[in-house]
Structure 1
Amino acid sequence: MNLKNSIIVPILGRYADRFHEYQPARTFFDNLQVAAAIPGIEGIEVVYPQDFADPEQTVKAIQAAGLPVSAVNVNVKGEAKFRAGSFTNPDPQIRSQAVQYIKTAMDLAAQLGTDMITCCPLIDGHDYNFQVDYQKQWAWFVEGIREAALYRSDIKVSLEYKPYEVRNNIILGDMGRTLHLCNQVGLPNVGVTMDVGHALGARENPAAMACMAHDAGRLFYVHFNDNDRAWDWDMLPGSVNLWDLVETIYYLDRMNWSGWLTYDVYSRHGDPAEAFAVTFRIMETAKEIVEKLGRNEIQALIEEGVPARAFDYLFKKLFK
C-alpha cells in the first residue's frame, strides 16, 4: 500500500471559532519547523497565497526543511474581494484573478517539486433561491477551470468538493457534480480531491466515492479526517466512523491507488503536532486492520452480500 502521509501546514497554527481561540497564531516558518519534527510525517501541503507573502523566502524555507510538498492548496475564499464568489463572481476581473491564483500556484508547485495543486471553491455557490443565475455560474466555473488547467498540462488541478460552508450550497457540493465538471472541462489534468469529512457531510460513502472517482481516472488526492455527518468538525480519522475509515483504506489498497493522504485535522484540545502524530498512528493501525481481516476474506464477504455474516466475522476477527 504505497500511501504517503502529509499535513496542511497552516492547521498547526491559529484555530478559532465564533466563541474561543483554541490555538495561538504562529508564522508559516514556525509552523514549518513544528511540522518537520512530527514523527511519521512524509510531506506537507502549503497554501497560496497565505503561506507565500514572500514567495522566494517561503520556497527556500520549504526546501531547507527537507519535506516534499504534496500539493499547493489555492485559497480563493478568505479575501474580501472574493466575498461574492471567486470563479463565479459576477465581476469578470475578480474571476480572472481567481484563475490567476491557480496559474501562479501551478508555477509554485513546479518549483517545489510537486505536480499537484488543489482548490476547494467554498465561496462559489448560493445561500438563497433566486440569489444567483445557476446557468451563468456553472458556465463561468467551467470556463475558469479550463483556462487555468490549460496553463500547464504538467500540473494537476485537483478540485475539492464540499456541500456547505462558506456558502449554504457550494457549487461543487458532491462527487457527482465534481466529476461532471471534470467531464465538461475535458482535460486530463483536472480531477478530484476527496476529503473524507466532506464526503460524510454530503451523506456519501467515502469508499464508494473513491471507487467512482478512480473508475473515472480522476481520483488525484485524498484528505482524511472525521465528523458526525452533520458538520465538518475535522476530527481524528476513525474517531467517529471507524468502519468507513477501514473500508476506504481497503478499497484504496484494492485499487492499487498510490498517492498522498493529507490530513485536515484541527485540535481544540492539546498540541496540534501531537494530534497529527496520533493521526499517522491511527492510519497505520487502520492499514493493519485490513491486513488482519484479510483482503480475500473481505472480498468474499462483499460478494456474499449478507451484512450479518460480514459483521459477525469483522467483530470476531478484531475483538476475540
Structure 2
Amino acid sequence: MLKYAYNMLVYGTEPIELGIARLAKFGYDYAEIVGEPTEISAAQYGQALSKHNMPVSSIVSIYTPERDLVSSNPAIRANTVAYIKGNVDFAAELGAKIVTLTPTACMKIKPEVDIEQEWAWAVAGAREAAQYAFDHGVRLALEPWNRYESYLVNRLDQSIRMVDEVDNPGIGVMADTFHMSIEDKDIPGAIRSAGKRLAHVHLADSNRAAPGEGFLDFTPIVEAIRDVNYQGVCSFELLPAAGDIWGVLQGGKAPEFLDPYTESAIKYMKNIEKSLGMSDVK
C-alpha cells in the first residue's frame, strides 16, 4: 500500500489551513510543503497540521540563481549548502523525513565552466549537505530535472551516479514521473535500477497534471515502486501548463489544481493499487 502526499505549492497564496483541510478531506497521508522557512515558519504550519492530524512528508527546495550548487561563484555555492541545511532544520522541526535537492538553479540550461568541474562541485556540496541531513534524521532526495529546466542531472541513472559518488546514507535518488516522461526511455526500469537508493517519488502525468490527465501508464510504474520495496511517500507535484507558472498559481488561475485534481489524483492511484491486488486498498 502506497502512502500519498500532495505538494501544496500548487495551492498558491490561499491560507495554509485551507490546503491542509483539503488534504485531510480527500484522504491524504501527508502534506508536502515548500522550503522557504524564512517566509513561513514551522510554527505557522503547526496549528493547521495538528488540527487535521496531518504530518509532513517532505520539503520541496526551490533553486533560484542564488541557490545553485554548481555556480562558478563560491559564495553562491556556500549559500546553497546553507539553504539546504536550513530546509533540513525545517524538516526536522516538522517531523518530515525528506528534503529535495537539485544541483542547478531552475531553468539554468548551460554550464558556466567545464561540466566535470561543475559535477565535482555538486558532489562536494551534496556530500556536505547529506552528512548534515543524516545527522538530523533527514534524507536528501536528488531529483533529475528535464533538459528544459536543467542540464547536469536529467535522468535517473545520472542521479544514481551522483548519489553513489556522494556515498552517504543521508542522500538518495528521487523519481519524478513528469521529468522521466521526457528523459527516461523506460520509467519502470529506471525506478527498478534505483532500488534501495529510491528516497522519494513525485507523481504527475506527462502534461504535469493529475495522473489520468495525460498519456502515462501508471500501472507499470506502481509495479516498479512496489517491486523495489519502496517505503517512502509518493507525492503529487502538479503544475499548470503555462509559461508563467508562478503568476498563474499566485493569481489563482488554475482552479483545477485545487479540489478537482487533489481528489482525482489520489483516487486514480488507489484504483491502480486495487487493480494490482495491493493490500489494504479499499
Provide TM-score, normalisation by structure 2. Answer: 0.84
Kindly indicate whether residue 15 of structure 2 is the aligned counterpart of residue 4 of structure 1. no
Q: Which amino acid aligns with 2:124?
A: E
Correspondence for 2:271: 285
Equivalent pair of 1:117/1:156 in contact (CA under 8 Å): yes
Please point out which of 234, 253, 262 is paired with 1:276: 262
How many percent identity over aligned positions? Answer: 23
Distance of 1:274 and 1:187 partners within structure 2: 40
Map of 2:158 onto structure 1: 177
Q: Does the Cα contact within 8 Å between 2:20 and 2:54 map onto a contact in 1?
A: no
> Which of 35, 39, 49 in structure 2 is aligned with 1:62?
49
- The answer to whether residue 186 in structure 2 is matched with residue 198 in structure 1 is no
After superposition, the C-alpha distances for 1:255-285 in whole angstroms (9 at most, x for unaligned) are 3322211001235463522211111110011
Q: Distance in 1 between matches of 2:113 and 2:59?
A: 30
The letter of the residue matching 2:93 is Q
1:259 pairs with 2:246:
no
AA partner of residue 46 (structure 1): I
Which residue number corresponds to residue 26 of structure 1? Answer: 14
Tell me whether 1:143 sits opposite 2:116 in the alignment.
Answer: no
Report SS of the residue matched to 1:204.
coil
Q: Is the 8 A contact 1:9 1:35 kept in 2?
A: no
Quote the Cα distance in structure 1 between the aligned partners of 2:131 and 2:166: 10
2:209 equivalent in structure 1? 235
Q: After the TM superposition, which of the residue ranges 51-60 and 99-108 deviates more from structure 2? A: 51-60
* Counterpart residue identity of residue 175, structure 1: L
Q: Which runs of 5+ in 2 are unaligned?
A: 241-253
Instruction: Tell whether 2:220 aligns with 1:247.
Output: yes
Residue of 195, 204, 214 corresponding to 1:225: 204
- 1:182 to partner: Cα distance: 0.7
Q: Which residue of 2 aligns with 1:127?
A: 109
Shift of 1:199: 0.9
Per-residue CA shift, 1:92-148, capped at 9, x if unaligned?
1111111111111112212212222122345278635x7532122111111100011
Alpha-carbon offset, residue 58 of structure 1: 3.2
Partner secondary structure for residue 141 of structure 2 = strand
Could you say if the C-alpha distance between residues 199 and 12 of structure 1 is closer, same or farther in structure 2, counting changes exceeding 3 Å? same
The whole-number CA distance in structure 2 between the counterparts of 1:126 and 1:51 is 24
- What number of residue pairs does the alignment pair up? 263
Aligned counterpart, 1:303: none
Structure 2 CA distance for aligned equivalents of residues 68 and 137 of structure 1:
36
**Residue of structure 1 equivalent to 2:94:** 112
Greater radius of gyration (CA):
1
Q: Distance between the aligned counterparts of 1:26 and 1:146, measured in 2?
A: 36
Where do 5+ consecutive residues of structure 1 fail to align? 14-24, 228-232, 293-320
Check the 8 A contact 2:100/2:140 in 1, yes or no: yes
Q: 1:125 to 1:92 in 2, by over 3 A?
A: farther
Q: CA deviation at 1:75?
A: 1.3
Q: How far is the alpha carbon of 1:29 from its aligned partner?
A: 4.6
Per the TM alignment, residue 223 of structure 1 is displaced from its structure 2 partner at its CA by: 0.8
Relative to structure 1, the CA distance from residue 41 to residue 187 in structure 2 (aligned partners, 3 Å threshold; closer, same or farther) is: same
Partner AA of 1:219 in structure 2:
L
- Which structure 2 residues correspond to residues 77-116 of structure 1 after superposition, within 5 A? 77=64, 81-82=66-67, 86-116=68-98
CA RMSD, Structure 1 to Structure 2 (Å): 2.4
Q: Return the offset for 1:189.
A: 2.0
Change beyond 3 A, Cα 1:125–1:87: farther
Contact 1:223–1:261 (CA under 8 A) maintained in structure 2: yes
